[in-house]
A and B are shown apart, each in its own frame.
Chain A
């Protein structure tokens, strides 16, 4: 075992052939260099491209969201109750903006279970609508701890998502269909 060091010298030099440069390879190189000289002149100077312009362009030509603003009925109930199109859109929106805290099926995770008969802040359309619009700041928290066990944390207005008040009503229409203990009215 003592001889493992000396036996293998392994230091014959490596030969380098002068070789040649494949033409197609140099071709790619020259082409990409030439392209890189031409492209910024064309794209930025002649076309005036910038990501800010591209964004404005997309906003102008992109699909428009048509929505007539809707609010609570005079009796405080949600006008979308029973509107099946609104309910299915509401479910999607819930998945997008609320599910992260309330779990995709609404049974609670960081925020409380919304599918049971227990309501911390009230159980009518009007109360819950205003609650979601304003969010629940630290000092108004009622949960002792979150359903998954950690300390409770505030709920941002509309769950922190930039959605319209009308969309909130659609979410609550879905919620009222899933959980019938959420009552219409004030």
Chain B
């Protein structure tokens, strides 16, 4: 029975190529905006100015790079986990092309200056509709595949994908409701504090259901598949899955502390953030404890190293986040580079780590060959890890310095640094280090791209999986 199932690998290959492509583009944008922050004269042309390239970086990295990795994993893992072919291969292809059309339109329209001015939801209404269409195609395909499954047991990775697909649909629809006044302009149906709260309910849960739950699904898939080890604890999976998705939804107001948002609502956001520590750490623990069964192999295996560092940054940023959600801390960290440090500990550390593991897992299997060079993968790991550390540490220092300088007052009660420019000048060295960290990080990524291109040159030569269980021959 098993042998009869035809898995559609072509769609996965297509999305894997997108991971690499959009990854390079979006990180390049990140580097450009990082340099524009220290050399403002690099804003050469309105289309290439900071305000327009920044959303291209964020949309490109979240929806382009991370999105491709999520879709590649869904189309690869879900049919295999449920032991049934993908319900519709052609629907997946329509999804693929509409999705890429969206990314291209997004980049062009943002460069041209069209935006809804809502962070992470900048795209104007025609593109929003396009997104809804392909998201629905994905959802239908996913749930029909689930309906046809021959495997009764629904593995935890699939739960996390279900949560992702349903919740992102709801968030995206509600936040983007707007009244069009032309092809390129619309007004949100919300206003004032309600608008802000809807927006950050969406914004926070974009982090939760686009940068966290699908990545956990990926972790739950690739880690045990790659090591051939069982997941440490099904009980942890159950408790942390339900608590995570229940609690995450309420934490949005922590982006609006000390704002006109009602006091009680701010407190709700802060407390739900604190309650998120344990549910988040559940995923980290389950990963770590699974990894300990292959301790020795971490030394020689770049994919495992990526997962290890990724989980470490996940644990770190899900402790840092709740701390930043405490009012007193947030009054220092808000608007500063500290937030940027937090974002990129999550982004460069956690998200990219799992995505890199996904690429290294998928490519040899999809092209049926062995990875061109394990050594290059190892180099990618070290170069990117140093890049992350330079980025995150410089932004922590810069952020705390920035926050302290903003609030410093002299004996007369006047601001000690009344000039914004003076503070910006002070932060120059840290931001330079950040930009260089970013260059290093992208270099690591390019090493991976080269490695993958070389690997595909030997496609079809046969793939030999390595057994990573303790005691097995490597």
A and B bind:
yes
Report A's interface with B, CB cutoff 8 A. Answer: 1-5, 7-11, 13-22, 25-26, 28-29, 32-33, 35-36, 39-40, 43-44, 49-51, 62-66, 92-93, 95-97, 99-100, 104
User: In the complex the two chains form, is B231's CB within 8 Å of A15's CB?
Assistant: yes
A14 and B224 contact, CB distance less than 8 A:
yes
In the complex, the answer to whether B275 meets A22 with C-beta atoms within 8 Å is no
Q: Can you list the 10 inter-chain pairs with the closest CB atoms, starting with the nearest?
A: A19-B233, A96-B418, A63-B413, A95-B419, A29-B278, A15-B230, A36-B271, A11-B80, A16-B234, A4-B368
- Verify B282–A25 contact, CB threshold 8 A: yes
Interface segment out of the listed B93-101, B333-341, B456-464 = B456-464
B42 within 8 Å of A by Cβ?
A: no
Residues in B with CB closer than 8 Å to A40 are 264, 267, 271
- Interface SS, B side: helix
> Are A7 and B462 in contact, with the CB atoms below 8 A?
yes
- The residue in chain B whose Cβ has the minimal distance to the Cβ of A40 is B267
Evaluate contact between B267 and A99: CB separation under 8 angstroms. Answer: no
Contact of B224 among A15, A28, A96 (CB under 8 A): A15
The complex places the Cα of A3 from the Cα of B9 at a distance, in Å, of: 12
* Complex Cα–Cα for A49 and B258 (A): 13
A37 to B62, CA, bound (A): 35
- Whether the Cβ atoms of B237 and A95 lie closer than 8 Å is no
In the assembled complex, which residues on chain A have CB atoms less than 8 Å from the CB atom of B220?
14
Q: What chain A residues lie within 8 Å of B278 (beta carbons)?
A: 25-26, 28-29, 32
Specify which of B237, B279, B282, B421 is in contact with A104 (CB 8 Å cutoff).
B421
- Assembly CA distance A65 to B409 (angstroms): 11
Closest to B415 in A: A96
Beyond the given A3-B368, A9-B2, A14-B231, please list 12 additional residue pairs across the A-B interface where CB-CB is below 8 A. A11-B80, A14-B230, A16-B234, A16-B237, A17-B231, A17-B234, A21-B236, A63-B412, A63-B413, A95-B419, A96-B418, A104-B419
A48 to B93, CA, bound (A): 58
Q: Within the assembled complex, what's the spacing in Å between the Cα atoms of A122 and B277?
A: 64
Q: How far is the CA of A63 from the CA of B412 in the complex (A)?
A: 6
**Which residue of the partner chain B has the closest CB to A37?**
B271
Query: Within 8 Å of chain A (Cβ to Cβ): is B118?
Result: no
Asked if B323 is an interface residue, CB under 8 A from chain A, the answer is: no
Closest B residue to A89 using CB positions = B414
User: With A33-B275, A63-B412 in contact, do A4 and B459 touch (Cβ < 8 Å)?
Assistant: yes
Contact (Cβ within 8 A) A39 B267: yes
Among A5, A26, A39, A100, residue most surrounded by chain B Cβ atoms (within 10 Å): A5
Q: How far is the CB of A92 from chain B (nearest CB, A)?
A: 5
Using Cβ atoms and an 8 Å threshold, which residues of chain A touch B225? 10, 14
C-beta contact mask, B238-258 vs A, less than 8 Å → 1, else 0?
010001000000000000001
A2, A26, A62: the one within 8 Å of B460 (CB): A2
Residue B367, interface by CB 8 Å = yes
Bound-state CA distance A32–B272 (Å) is: 9
Given contacts A16-B231, A36-B274, A63-B413, contact A22 B460 (CB under 8 A): no
Which one of A21, A43, A63 contacts B233 once the chains associate, using CB atoms below 8 Å?
A21
In the complex, the answer to whether B414 meets A65 with C-beta atoms within 8 Å is yes
Report the Cα distance A92→B409, complex, angstroms.
13
**Chain B positions 80-101 with a Cβ under 8 Å from a chain A Cβ:** 80-81, 83
Q: How far is the CA of A43 from the CA of B327 in the complex (A)?
A: 12
Which residues of A are found within 8 Å of B413, using beta-carbon distances?
Answer: 62-65
**Chain A residue at minimal CB-CB distance from B284:** A25
Q: Which residues of B have CB within 8 Å of A62?
A: 413
